Structure 1
């Protein structure tokens, strides 16, 4: 490779896209197009980046299998940074196999990590964990070692294993400092700050206080009966009853949990569960049916007893009951939680990650935008949603072969 391509690759490896563009901005050959695409991705112009990388992939000849595979990896990373998660599985495995077969172990591992990060974002945690276990962090260069530990921390956070997450983030920070990539260091710092931020709100007999993630983990391990409004689960120790697909039952459980140890009137339960202004006989009959269903669903952890004016929840597995709620505004909290990573998301990607319809997700985004909590840019299929600040590109893209000492 010529000296300008080498200089541009070195600049991109340390997160200096402007320095890279100074070397290749006016060139139209395939390696230069690829490096220009990476530079535009690091500057946040993902549409232009994708176009340049695709042009580079077409410009490389049929015999340049390694270069074409690197373009596939680069395009997949741009899609990940742009939070374009739909469209099926990207061809990362095939590209990684080509790179590994030709001795480019670094970019082959990079392709594997991109596939795992995508699985993590769309909530396929078991598959992500299995694939991560096949990769050895100790054999990777510092940038990839940092990414490995960042993924491990993300998995631990999703599984409420805060000590494991903290240890992984410490190792990630050490590797990122060795790599000297500012964007990667910033992503790890943001993850460490998230661990120290309020993760939920505890409601106990009318009182409320914020909990960190480690405090939530300790609460779940304490054996207390928890009505978890963050995940729509009722849990007691290792026993969990998911009501995520039964919103009426969960609403009844939450209302009863917030009133515990007191009871709740039938009129209030009808108003909260069915959003009815008046509790007529048809609503009261429906309430009896739903209470019976809730009683059967929670039979291993709690009982629902009738009182003179309504119903009361009685824990079976514990002497105490608490409700766990979102830490802030609960309207569209799941959407805000995903946008909090600072990246720009497509509405289709948000819907995929949330497991909801795109129409429901779009209504939530419109409501949040009207409230000034999110903003968008672009139009049509190119429209993206984010929370300030503007998105950054947090991983390094190395299309050329690994450089000496890089």
Structure 2
């Protein structure tokens, strides 16, 4: 039984006959046992390396295939993945899909650790990954390129969200824009530079640690620079430091409540925040919150579907088919409406209460600001040190 289970695992990975026999031998399984197993599975298990069957289907794709699918937990984020999981397994009874629920922050380090010990048996085969995890995966060479023949929905994605070499497909985003107090601000702000408008003196809240919310990156961009341009970042640091000395900044926050509660009390009138949270606080909790997409663009905190390297050819084939289902208009529309996510694919029909929000308008999706997330990750510690010395130190 142990040999049988080991052979099934090898078979699901879609190896060629030679690779299959070599790996079986490495596990102490006799050639006779391995050959008998292959014979029972039929000819689809034994093509030459790299060969595929009809329709581009790789070796082993018709045999038993097991996939681990990473999905987000809570807030209706598991509804559509479970529906797609059930439908795909019904249509493909040889495929088993197991859900792995959690957050990218806690799961990605586990994926890296698993890759070091078992590179051809990844912890996750495919799933949902945000901009931060995607950037880390780019640095770590974690992602497979998707085959457009199996994922034709890549053509539906707005051009500004398309990935080089189809290393993943962007399906949605959370917008980061201007959150303002509607009791005290009657005309919606329109620019990231409104942070420094005298009318918000002493009423501005900034993040201390996340520089896409601290004013540093948005000011750099609004002044025409980029995160990778040291001179442009220095210019933004100086402007913010000067404004801090003038009393422009009311407070710094590290958590949701540290920006939410002061705005409810009217102590803070302006900040940068996520459209999804502002939506809930304004429309469900009836708080004094408004959201505006700045003229320079709301920040695109993009979310992707990726396939992890180390996934076998047979697994990749089925993962691509599932990803294509998830990005089909029917399923993507349902997911975005359930989770209040902003789609980055064309012709997605949103519920009217979402479609009418600023963050969801086509011009604000296509014109969203695409940050250099790897540079943000690399520079974060240095920028934090400077931010505390040059800015935080002058806010009393």
Question: How would you bin the TM-score normalised by the shorter chain?
Answer: under 0.3
- From the two aligned structures, give the one with the greater helix fraction: 1
- Structure of greater relative contact order (alpha carbons < 8 Å, 6+ residues apart): 2
Q: Structure 1-normalised TM-score?
A: 0.27
* TM-score (normalised: structure 2): 0.28
